[in-house]
Structure 1
Amino acid sequence: MRTTIRALIEDAVRTLADTGTVIAPRPDAEALAAHLFGAGLAELEPDGEPGDRETARYQELVAGRAAGVPLGHLTGVAELAGVEVAVGPGVFVPRVQSESMLANGLGAIEGTDRPLVVDLCTGSGAVALAVAHHRPDATVHAADCDPVALEFARRNSARRAALGDTPIELHHADVTEPGLLAGLDGTVDLVLANPPFMPDDAEVPAEFGVYQPRLAVFGGPDGLHVIRHVVEAAARLLRPGGTLVVEHGHLHAAAVAGLCLADPRFTEVSSHLDQYGWPLYAAARFGGTKPLTAP
């Protein structure tokens, strides 16, 4: 019996909703259909009847998503703040929640001419490329220690440059190493970071525990190992008046704010929620005064 694209999508929505782990069943089901049939969602013929091979392939894609394979690994692309990047196995797929963190950072440099921006733990380069897209006058440096992720970032940067965006400068560098991007010390207007933040023994859905790269998900026994280094690096890189915006786990709001407050050079420390009401990121202004020292 023949089926329609509409019926396939409705079946997929039910399958994905039944997992209890897929946050957006309908958008994911529709995105998989658009990917398979090579058309935008608005261009799909809902009453069209796909062939048996297309039907089977779509059901395979849905089964993969239900098992936890990230949507971007199935379609090969992800979008952040209007910027599409290539993703796949071995690189973290940017989450829509990060658009809030990005918006905060862009707001912090709104009045700054030709800002200097650093994106740490850049992964696919999505955040850095979104900054370059929305602020073409910015100079954007992006760093990651994972060569697989950095290769995705290089390809994405080249593609965005071909589309007219300002190229970003990529660095194969580890935020936990002393002297990261030392040539920029004291000159950066904005440091952004979406580092690994899950505790090593945390139980997480298969999407993050199996299919996303472990290096981009787990951040030490308490999940804060890399974040501590991000805060330290930001205190060195930022100019007085510069801003740090760092994403963190749901349970880390107080801890990450505390890391910033522990350095008296950081002021205006704030914690921010995602669209679901969970803690998502912290922001802090760098004052630039010398830390207090014992006499």
Structure 2
Amino acid sequence: MSAVRTQAERLLAEATGILEAAGVESARHDAESLLSHVTGIPRMSLVTRARPDGIQKDAFLKLIEARASRIPLQHLTGSAAFRYVDLEVGPGVFVPRPETEMLAGWAIDHAKTLTDPVVVELCAGSGAISLSVVHEVPSARVHAVELDEPAYEWAQRNLDGTGVDLRLGDMADAFSDLDGTVDIVVANPPYIPLDAWESVAPEVRDHDPSLALWSGDDGLDAMRVLEQTAWRLLKPGGVVGAEHADAQGESAPEVFVPRWTSVRDNLDLARRPRFVTATKPAN
């Protein structure tokens, strides 16, 4: 057992050092995730159970080299965990973030209070929110739209067989057949200002699709379109929730202030502003 532990620890320590030197913040976590991916041993059992052979070791070190070049971890493993589901991801689709799980949870909690709720996800990307909704609220009728064709293809893979009505198109004119009938609109739209390039992590700016990132000079161009689309789709009393950057805790809600009620900003687990919610007036 000691030899097994020493072998795994030595490999993980070497890989962690490589990733730390490359500026990867979650170096140990990523090293463990990649060794788990290669060996099939769960992360928590690597130290006691992992005994990689030569082929596995070479594959692992190649993945570490790729991660050190700032290729996203999820692109290397081919999957991303989100709430209680796993999604297929890779080049061409935005990798879902843990912060977005809170927005999905808000939509799910609201859907659970309704009978046969109608939910629309705009800017669906990988389909993470839609998949979570149908997984946790089986009675929900879920519709999703994505503009970027490569991302749409990833969403197709993730939503195949779930009953989600997935469409390729622009959220601005999507789902005209649903106007005034929707209970919940939810979205993680692009929200990064065009001048924020240097502040964005290489994993994001170099690998996530540009359509999922940039949104005008103030980062709120997509939010303004989303507000108009949600107003058109929602029935009176319906609700909308949309993610934004932590610096947009005041500016994002202002998009909804003129004609919505119960406009509220919501914090993520790190206590940073993360998503705005609002209600369409009943009258």
- Could you tell me the TM-score, scaled by structure 2's length? 0.91
Query: Separation in 1 of the partners of 2:278 and 2:105?
Result: 14
Q: Matched residues, percent identical?
A: 36
Q: Aligned pair in 2 of structure 1 residues 14, 268: CA closer, same or farther (>3 Å)? A: farther
Structure 2 stretches lacking a partner, 5+ long: none
| 1:286 and 2:264 aligned | no
| 1:8 and 2:4 aligned | no
Please tell me whether the aligned partners of residues 252 and 276 of structure 2 are also in contact (alpha carbons under 8 angstroms). Answer: yes
Query: Separation in 1 of the partners of 2:236 and 2:77?
Result: 42
Partner of 2:132: 130
Deviation at 1:79, TM superposition (A): 1.3
User: Secondary structure, in 3 states, of the residue corresponding to 1:143?
Assistant: strand
Query: Separation in 2 of the partners of 1:56 and 1:278?
Result: 40
Give the residue type in structure 2 aligned to 1:76.
G
What is the aligned counterpart of 1:92 among 86, 91, 94? Answer: 94
| 1:168 and 2:171 aligned | no
Query: Separation in 2 of the partners of 1:73 and 1:236?
Result: 36
**Which stretch of structure 1 is more off in the superposition, 137-146 or 56-65?**
56-65
Deviation at 1:214, TM superposition (A): 1.1
Query: Separation in 2 of the partners of 1:66 and 1:129?
Result: 31
Partner of 2:251: 255
Query: Greater share of helix residues, 1 or 2?
Result: 2
Please tell me whether the aligned partners of residues 124 and 187 of structure 2 are also in contact (alpha carbons under 8 angstroms). Answer: yes
Deviation at 1:21, TM superposition (A): 4.8
- Could you tell me the TM-score, scaled by structure 1's length? 0.88
Partner of 2:222: 226
What is the aligned counterpart of 1:106 among 105, 108, 133? Answer: 108
Deviation at 1:237, TM superposition (A): 0.7
Give the residue type in structure 1 aligned to 2:52.
P
Deviation at 1:250, TM superposition (A): 1.5
Deviation at 1:42, TM superposition (A): 4.4
Q: Aligned pair in 2 of structure 1 residues 54, 232: CA closer, same or farther (>3 Å)? A: same
Give the residue type in structure 2 aligned to 1:220.
G
Deviation at 1:19, TM superposition (A): 4.5
User: Secondary structure, in 3 states, of the residue corresponding to 1:56?
Assistant: helix
Please tell me whether the aligned partners of residues 247 and 282 of structure 1 are also in contact (alpha carbons under 8 angstroms). Answer: yes
Deviation at 1:121, TM superposition (A): 0.5
**Which stretch of structure 1 is more off in the superposition, 35-44 or 94-103?**
35-44
Query: Separation in 2 of the partners of 1:106 and 1:115?
Result: 10
Query: Separation in 2 of the partners of 1:279 and 1:89?
Result: 28
Give the residue type in structure 2 aligned to 1:283.
T
What is the aligned counterpart of 2:183 among 177, 189, 207? Answer: 189
Query: Separation in 2 of the partners of 1:97 and 1:13?
Result: 25
Partner of 1:292: none
Partner of 2:210: 214
Partner of 1:293: none
Aligned length: 277
Query: Separation in 2 of the partners of 1:9 and 1:135?
Result: 40
Give the residue type in structure 2 aligned to 1:278.
R
Please tell me whether the aligned partners of residues 70 and 212 of structure 1 are also in contact (alpha carbons under 8 angstroms). Answer: no
Deviation at 1:75, TM superposition (A): 0.4
Query: Separation in 1 of the partners of 2:270 and 2:68?
Result: 21
Q: Aligned pair in 2 of structure 1 residues 108, 77: CA closer, same or farther (>3 Å)? A: same
CA displacement 1:38-87 (0-9 Å, x = unmatched): 23334546464423432232122223223321111010011111111111
User: Secondary structure, in 3 states, of the residue corresponding to 2:250?
Assistant: helix
Q: Aligned pair in 2 of structure 1 residues 145, 237: CA closer, same or farther (>3 Å)? A: same
Partner of 2:143: 141
Partner of 1:201: 195
Please tell me whether the aligned partners of residues 145 and 174 of structure 2 are also in contact (alpha carbons under 8 angstroms). Answer: no
Superposed CA RMSD in Å reads 1.9
Query: Separation in 1 of the partners of 2:213 and 2:14?
Result: 31
CA displacement 1:167-225 (0-9 Å, x = unmatched): 201011112x3x32111111111111001111122121111110111111111222111
Q: Aligned pair in 2 of structure 1 residues 40, 226: CA closer, same or farther (>3 Å)? A: same
What is the aligned counterpart of 1:277 among 254, 271, 281? Answer: 271
Partner of 1:50: 52
Q: Aligned pair in 2 of structure 1 residues 282, 49: CA closer, same or farther (>3 Å)? A: same
User: Secondary structure, in 3 states, of the residue corresponding to 1:234?
Assistant: helix
Give the residue type in structure 2 aligned to 1:180.
A
**Which stretch of structure 1 is more off in the superposition, 111-120 or 270-279?**
270-279
Partner of 1:244: 240
